Amino acid sequence: MNQKAFTLIELLIVVAIIALLLAIIVPALGIAKEQTRTIVCGSHLRGIGYAINGYLESNESRFHNMTNFGLWENPNTGKEYDCDDSWAYWAIAYSQYADTKDVFHCSAAKRVDMWCVGSEPFSGWEEAKLKKMFYYCHYGINGYTAYESGDNVRFRKITDFKVPSNVIFCQDHIEQTLDGAYSDMFTANPAGINLSQWRRDYIVPYPECVSECFRHNRSSYARKNLTDPYAVEKGLSNSLWLDGHVSRIEESTGTDVQYRWYTGHIVDPAVDRWNMK
Closest to 200 measured CA to CA, from 213, 187, 189, 209: 209
Decide: 165 and 241 in contact? Cβ < 8 Å.
yes
Rounded-to-integer distance, Cα 229 and Cα 95, Å: 37
For the chain, what is the domain count? 1
Q: What does the DSSP 8-state code read for residue 152?
A: S
Global confidence as pTM: 0.80
2 inside domain: no
Q: Give tens-digit pLDDT for 102-127.
A: 999 999 998 888 776 667 788 788 88
Decide: 214 and 228 in contact? Cβ < 8 Å.
no
Q: Give tens-digit pLDDT for 213-228.
A: 999 987 544 444 444 4
1 inside domain: no
Please report the pLDDT score of residue 233 as a whole number.
59
18 inside domain: yes
Decide: 201 and 194 in contact? Cβ < 8 Å.
no
Ordered alpha helix ranges (H), the chain: 8-58, 92-95, 127-133, 196, 209-213, 260-263, 269-272
Q: Which domain holds residue 97?
A: 8-272
268 inside domain: yes
198 inside domain: yes
252 inside domain: yes
3 inside domain: no
Q: Give tens-digit pLDDT for 180-222.
A: 777 789 988 777 788 888 876 545 556 678 888 999 987 544 4
190 inside domain: yes
Closest to 95 measured CA to CA, from 145, 167, 44, 37: 44
Decide: 146 and 63 in contact? Cβ < 8 Å.
yes
